[in-house]
Amino acid sequence: MLSTDDQIEQKIRELKPGSIIFTEDFQEYGSSGAVKVALHRIVKKGLLHTLARGIYTKPKFSKLLNQDVLPSAEQVATAIAERDRARLLPTGVYAQNMLGLSTQVPLKLVYLTDGSPRKINIGNRTIQFKKTTPKNLALRGEISKLVVQALKEIGKDKVTNQELKKITALLKKEDVKDLKHDIALAPQWVAEIMAKAL
């Protein structure tokens, strides 16, 4: 019979480099205390890297950079949402950045979610999950849901002509059914801007 350490190590060796894993992934191998101790030892061996409390990654080596590369804060947020079966919606400056409306890479990623609210630090970046209403997460379009959040961040009457042009061009790539659905849910002033893409 393999020890908790050995069983966990064996499972980690089978994972793809770059995989994001959580303490809970190893519940079947022992008590949470035993799992934490085993993971701590495996980190010391260099087989795992700690991203945040209870969140680890299997190092992925980049020949180009000649060093291990860690998953991005965005990848960590997505992995947490998948684990919690929660939905995520990027907000604010982060939504603007994803749409190319801002070149600023936010150090703080704020997501609206139907999962648990929490804050996680990954290196010099912060991921924040804010609890929201089902209505906010009912937006369907990949582009239009970001547009709604980006416009809310910019603010009514503060949207420049250049931003309007870019938003309209982006929304023209959205599925029309999804766009119409999301316009119906958006705040009135945001809906009027989005309707220009129809």
Model pLDDT, residue 12 = 94
How many angstroms separate the Cα of 5 from the Cα of each of 11, 44, 55? 10, 12, 17
Give the residue-averaged pLDDT of 137-149: 95
Position 128 scores a pLDDT of: 96
Q: How far is CA 163 from CA 92, 157, 166, 192, in A?
A: 15, 12, 5, 14
Output the pTM of the full model.
0.85
The CATH class given to the 4-68 domain equals mainly alpha
Taking the C-alpha atoms of residue 48 and residue 96, their distance in angstroms, rounded to an integer, is 33
Based on its alpha-carbon atoms, the radius of gyration of the chain, rounded to whole angstroms, reads 21
Q: Residue 20: its pLDDT value, please?
A: 97
Residue-wise pLDDT tens digits, 160-176: 999 999 999 999 999 99
Is residue 5 predicted with pLDDT exceeding 90?
Answer: no
Q: Give pLDDT tens digits for 56-70.
A: 999 998 888 888 888
Q: Which residue has the tokens 């945001």?
A: 190
Average pLDDT, the chain: 93
In the chain, which segments carry CATH 1.10.10?
4-68
